[in-house]
Structure 1
Amino acid sequence: MSSSCDPQHAPAGDVGAALMMIDSRLKSVYDGTTETDAEQRLLVEQFIASLGPGEAEDVLDGTCTLIYMFMVWLRKAHEAHDKDVIEYVVPTLVASMRMMPKSVGPEAIPTMAGLVVAAGTGLSPSLWRKQYGDWTEAEMTPLEATAFLLAEQINRITDDHDFATRMIAEALTRADEG
C-alpha cells in the first residue's frame, strides 16, 4: 500500500539551487573560511529574496530531496554493515544541532529529526513535513543545517570532501540524460 508521503508523489524542487547552497557551505567549512551566522544568514536571505514567487518553495522542496537522497545513500551504506541508519544517523544529527544553538533553535530539532527519520524509512521529507502545516521562518536555517550535516557525514564516511555533492550532481546529470 502506498503512503501519501511516498517520494513518487513529492515535487523534486530545485535540487540544483539547494545543492549549490549546501556545496557553498561545505566548501567554506573545509576551506576554513566559515562566515559568521549573521553573514551567512544575510547571504541566504539575499538569495531567497532574489527568487521569484514559487522558486523559494522549489528550493525548500529541493533541500528535502537532497535530505532524502543523502538518507538513501546513508541507509544503503549502513545496511551494508548490518547497521540501522536511524540508530546511527539521528543521534549524531541531533547532537550536532544541539551544539548549534545560534543556527538551530531547540524547537526545530524534533522537526529536523523527523524529516531525517521520514527519509530514512523511505518517505518524502517534504510531504511528511507538509502534514503539519506550512514551513516557518524558524525552520529555514535548521533545514539547511540538516542537509549540510548529512552531506558532511557522507563526506566523512567516504573520506572525500566532495563526495556528497558529486553524487547528487551525477544523479542530476543522469536524470537530465534519461
Structure 2
Amino acid sequence: MEKSTDKYLINRLEDGNHLNIVLLSHNAYWPEIQKLDHHFENCNVTVFGSSTSYIKLADNQKREKIENSDLIIFYSSGFYNEKRLTELKDIAFRISNNKNKRVSIGYLYCIPFEQKSDENISEKIKIVSFKNGEEVTEEAYPTPYFSAYDLAELTLAMADSYDSVKQRKLEKKL
C-alpha cells in the first residue's frame, strides 16, 4: 500500500519542475551542501544558518524562496531540540496549507564524524511530510559518515519511495 507521500517530489523532478530545498546548517557544512544544488536537474537550494531565527530574519527574496520550498532540511551539530523541530513543522505546515502542496522536513542533529567520541551521540533522523493538513512521520538512523547531502536524498527516498534507478535518471551528466 502506498503512503500519501509516495512519488510527489520525484514526479515533480521528472516532469521538469523545480525542487526547492531550504537547508539550515552550520556553515562548516556549506561547501558539501553546495554540491546538492548541482546534483539534480531543476534543484534549487537556499542555505541558512543552523537556527530557525535565520528564516524569521530573511529578506523578501529569501522569504519568497522559503514560501516555495518542497523540502526543508535541518542538519546541524549539537543535540536534539524539540523546540526547533516544532518550529520547522509549523513552517512546513503553513507552507503546505498556503500553497496547497506537499512539504517535507528532513531533520538531524549530529556531530561531525571527526569530533565524535566512540559512542554514537546522533539522534534519530526524522522525516515529516505535510499535505492537506495530514502529517506523515518516519524515522531512520544515520550511518557514521552521514552528511547533509545524504539527509536530503534520504528525505526524498522516504517521502517518495525514491529508488536508485530514478536517481540515476535524474542525476546530471558530469
> Which protein is richer in strand relative to its size?
2
Q: Return the TM-score normalized by structure 1.
A: 0.32
Q: Which has the higher contact order (CA 8 A, sep 6+)?
A: 1
Q: Return the TM-score normalized by structure 2.
A: 0.32
